Copies of this chain bind each other. A is one copy, B any other.
């Protein structure tokens, strides 16, 4: 075996912090936990954890997400590496932030309780520890970009959803109002939605048709594309 040439270099704890997005009727929300150890005990924080030797970064992020939500196979994407020297007062730590999109109704309530976690509307977040606020801002930007580029919003909705719900979601991602007719035309022209003949009457007397994201159609679309990406852009202001 080779001698380890890396003998004299510094080693650092590598943290993973996850920005967990959910969507609840009107509002984009984040799942935050109440930190139960010092420093900053009792303050709000992103769900996080440390990288272990036997897992990749993606695996670690996924493990940490599951630890809080009980969910597996969740949309999870690396966001950015945060490495300011003093970002964690305990010790110099590098944090790789991930963001994930989950169906807000679809998580393990006991686990969430165990971590004293709570959903906060994205526009009414508490103070966060360390540089977590910076991470959240980065995630908001990334989500906006992602949603403009790929039909990713579906991850935040239940399997079946109505177009008005989907529009609400996009409106809260972009923090702007969208025209109903233009929105429908655009989203339907992506050719990734399948209309069911069920109606959802929770929010109106008339009821709105339920749609389903059709991953077969999506794959087909992707294949027909030239890498430009399916796109849903917010209107220019």
| A residues whose Cβ falls under 8 Å from a Cβ of B | 2, 4-6, 9-14, 37-39, 50-58, 60, 78, 80-85, 90-94, 96, 226, 228, 236-237
Contact = CB atoms under 8 A, between A and B. Distances in A.
A54 to B, nearest CB: 7
Contact of A81 (B13, B38, B91, B96): B96
A185 B228 CA distance: 22
- The count of identical subunits is 2
A14 B38 CA distance: 25
A6 B14 CA distance: 11
16 contacts: A2-B90, A4-B90, A4-B91, A5-B90, A6-B50, A6-B90, A6-B91, A10-B50, A10-B51, A11-B12, A12-B14, A12-B51, A51-B83, A53-B85, A94-B94, A228-B236
Given A6-B93, A12-B51, A14-B14, 18 more contacts: A2-B38, A2-B39, A5-B38, A6-B91, A9-B50, A10-B52, A11-B11, A11-B12, A12-B12, A12-B14, A57-B82, A57-B83, A57-B94, A58-B83, A60-B83, A78-B80, A78-B81, A81-B81
A92 B52 CA distance: 10
Nearest to A94: B14
A56 B84 contact: yes
A86 to B, nearest CB: 9
A80 B58 CA distance: 12
Contacts of A57: 81-83, 94
